[in-house]
Amino acid sequence: MASFIVLLGAPGAGKGTQAEILAKRTGLPHISSGDIFRENLKKQTELGKLAQKYMSKGELVPDDVTIAMIKERLSRPDCAKGAILDGFPRTPAQAKALDEMLAELGGKVVAVPFIKVPEEELVDRLSGRLVCKANGHIFHKKYNPPKVPGICDYDGSELYQREDDKPEVVRNRIRVYLEQTAPLIDFYRARGLLVEIDGNQPIEKVTEDLWNALPDEVKAQ
């Protein structure tokens, strides 16, 4: 049965950073709903243009649109053994839809690491974040700087600051997270899947704790 990991955490908690590392280590694909929306926006698809209206304000893209997009993504062959989900599910309706999709696909959620970071630290992380234009590799001006300023270490593309990392949008993203996504913490805790990870540590230490929290079936992929 395919094994899916759901990374939970506030905006800036380090989900994308850790998902990238775990994907390399496990061989499972990293699926980020935010990256798929941004990719669509770059290509100016209808989905991208629609998503942008919500993302620019820090609001969530409507459930029906997001669920359909993820359902299509998870049905692709590279998810046959599972995936690392980053940013989805983000509402109780999305969590329910995920269960239904995985039941159809013959998979299940096997662990839900919840990366905890204090709120004041989140703003600092997001305001210093740099992302590469070609592939979305993540850096931080202070905590994870690129070797050459402004250039991605991995593919040489230009680094930019995300539109929604402006302080006023960040504050709304955190508010939306607390209202709409935080209820998933109890949802997955009640199912015995939640593992709390201290995200307020150096990146390598967070990875170590996450790795130790993963079930053996995922590590052996």
- Residue range at the interface with ligand AP5 (CB under 6 A); choices 41-49, 75-83, 125-133, 152-160: 125-133
What is the smallest separation between the CB atom of 10 and ligand AP5, expressed in angstroms?
7
- Dig out the tokens for 158 from the structure: 């230009």
| 60 touches ligand AP5 (CB under 6 A) | yes
Please say whether the beta carbons of 110 and 218 come within 8 A.
yes
| 136 touches ligand AP5 (CB under 6 A) | no
147 is catalytic: no
| 30 touches ligand AP5 (CB under 6 A) | no
DSSP conformation class of 29: P
Number of residues that bind ligand AP5 (CB under 6 A): 39
- Residue range at the interface with ligand AP5 (CB under 6 A); choices 73-81, 184-192, 202-210, 212-220: 202-210
| 88 touches ligand AP5 (CB under 6 A) | yes
CA distance 84 to 16: 10
Among 4, 15, 40, 79, binds ligand AP5 (CB under 6 A): 15
Q: Is the peptide bond before 215 cis (omega within 30 degrees of 0)?
A: no
Dihedrals phi, psi of 149, to nearest 5 degrees:
-55, 130
Q: Which parts of the chain are beta strand (E)?
A: 2-7, 30-32, 82-86, 107-116, 129-132, 138-140, 159-160, 194-198
Q: Which is nearer to ligand AP5, 88 or 114 (CB)?
A: 88
Q: What amino acid occupies position 68? A: A
| 66 touches ligand AP5 (CB under 6 A) | yes
Among 16, 29, 107, 113, binds ligand AP5 (CB under 6 A): 16
- Residue range at the interface with ligand AP5 (CB under 6 A); choices 33-41, 103-111, 147-155, 210-218: 33-41
Please say whether the beta carbons of 92 and 187 come within 8 A.
yes
15 is catalytic: yes
What is the smallest separation between the CB atom of 64 and ligand AP5, expressed in angstroms?
11
Binding mask 95-124 for ligand AP5 (x = CB under 6 A): ------------------------------
- Dig out the tokens for 107 from the structure: 């998979």
Please say whether the beta carbons of 130 and 158 come within 8 A.
no
**Angle, to 10 degrees, between the axis of helix 46-55 and the axis of helix 63-74?**
130
Of 120, 117, 70, the closest CA to residue 91 belongs to 70
Residue ranges binding ligand AP5 (CB under 6 A): 9, 11-17, 32-34, 37, 54-55, 58-61, 66, 87-88, 90, 94, 125-126, 128-129, 138-140, 143-144, 164, 173, 199, 201-203, 206
